[in-house]
Amino acid sequence: MTNPLFYAKIILFGEYGMIEDSQGLVVPYSFYKGTLKYSDLSAEFERKSNHHLQKYSDYLADLSLSEDFKLDIDRFKTDISNGLFFDSNIPQGYGVGSSGALVAAIFEKYSVKKLNPETISKEILKNLKAVFGEMESYFHGKSSGMDPLICYMNLPILIENKENLDKVAIPDGQVGKGAIFLIDSGITGETGPMIQIFFEKMKAEGFRKTLKEEFIRYNNACIESFLKKDMNPFFRNLKKLSHWAYEHFRPMIPESIFNIWKKGLDSNAYYLKLCGSGGGGYILGFTQDYEKAEKMLDGFQKEVIYRF
């Protein structure tokens, strides 16, 4: 039997803000994916993955999950000894959920009580996010559980606040001039250190104030207008959001991206924002004219993820 594929995820809006109760909009990204497989472990990648799973299974064995979300650790360990590994092309350190897909795959295969993502209630969704947070904390020190949840559900999720989240329909992509795209910064980023920088910044009252009064306001307005497909207020707020990040998230913006970030703001041809925690990996771009933006971003590797 083939194990299901688990796709990468992209936080369109809400990076860092979700820690402080902003809204978030997270979507699956099927270009990258991972699945659990068996092999004779002759390849080094497979051996490494199998070894990581062994260590991870010890961590999971010590977690006390509630009855509804129990994992069959014995079966997991037996499968690991039979050559289980995680076959994935999701780049690590790129903000697209490599550990989230792994956690989702393990939960789907080894949860004692099976869930159907299509019919999960809002309440179970909330509890599942907490469980995934515990499972993913092994990789990042502290996890909200959002990445594995998106990878597991394989549906867009709207985070309303820390307590509430729900499945949401995003407008169908159409082949228009506009696009949402990824830019490769050329370096990998580590989530842990970036989150550390954010919490250091949060100690300053001025930063907390501007985050709550400006960043969260622009972020939530972007989500609202994007879901309504109301593109004029969307781009108006997006420019403010991008400018705010350029001013206040400077340590999270890879050096290779500084100039083109500013170029977008000055020209209004496109706007950039962090994709995940930043520090490296991908940067998100938004434009109403992709052809023009593409020319201006010549030399950078880009991937279009949504057209409008």
Domain boundaries defined on the chain: 6-167, 179-307
pLDDT winner (highest mean) among 138-142, 157-161, 256-260: 256-260
Asked if 279 contacts 190 with a C-beta cutoff of 8 angstroms, the reply is yes
Closest CA to 179 of 270, 48, 282: 270
Query: What confidence category does residue 301 fall into, taking pLDDT thresholds of 50, 70 and 90?
Result: very high
**pLDDT-based confidence at 20, cuts 50/70/90?**
confident
Q: How many whole angstroms from its chain centre is CA 163?
A: 18
What is the model's pLDDT at position 83?
A: 98
This prediction has a pTM of 0.85
For residues 170-179, give the mean pLDDT.
Answer: 84
Tell me the mean pLDDT in the region 169-198: 88
Assign 271 a pLDDT band (cuts: 50, 70, 90). very high
Instruction: Specify the fold of 179-307.
Output: Alpha-Beta Plaits (3.30.70)
**From CA 243, how far away is CA 245, in angstroms rounded?**
5
Q: Which fold has domain 6-167?
A: Ribosomal Protein S5; domain 2 (3.30.230)
- Using an 8 Å Cβ cutoff, are 178 and 186 in contact? no
pLDDT of 300 reads: 97
Cα–Cα distance for residue pair 50/44, rounded to 1 Å = 10
Instruction: Measure the CA–CA gap between 153 and 148, rounded to whole angstroms.
Output: 8
Mean pLDDT, the chain, integer: 93
List the beta bridge partners of residue 273. 284
Q: Using alpha carbons only, give the angle 10, 16, 22 rounded to the nearest 5 degrees.
A: 95
221 vs 173, more confident: 221
How many residues make up the chain in this entry? 308
214 pLDDT band, cuts 50/70/90, is very high
- Of 69-83, 118-132, 158-172, 182-196, which one has max mean pLDDT? 69-83
Q: 174: pLDDT confidence band, cut at 50, 70 and 90?
A: confident
Phi, psi of 278 (to 5 degrees): 80, -160
pLDDT tens, 94-114?
A: 888 789 999 999 999 999 999
Question: What are the tens digits of pLDDT across the range 53-98?
Answer: 999 999 999 999 999 999 999 999 999 999 999 999 998 878 887 8
pLDDT band at 2 (very low <50, low <70, confident <90, very high): low
Q: Is the pLDDT of residue 1 over 70?
A: no
Q: Helix or strand or coil: residue 121? A: coil
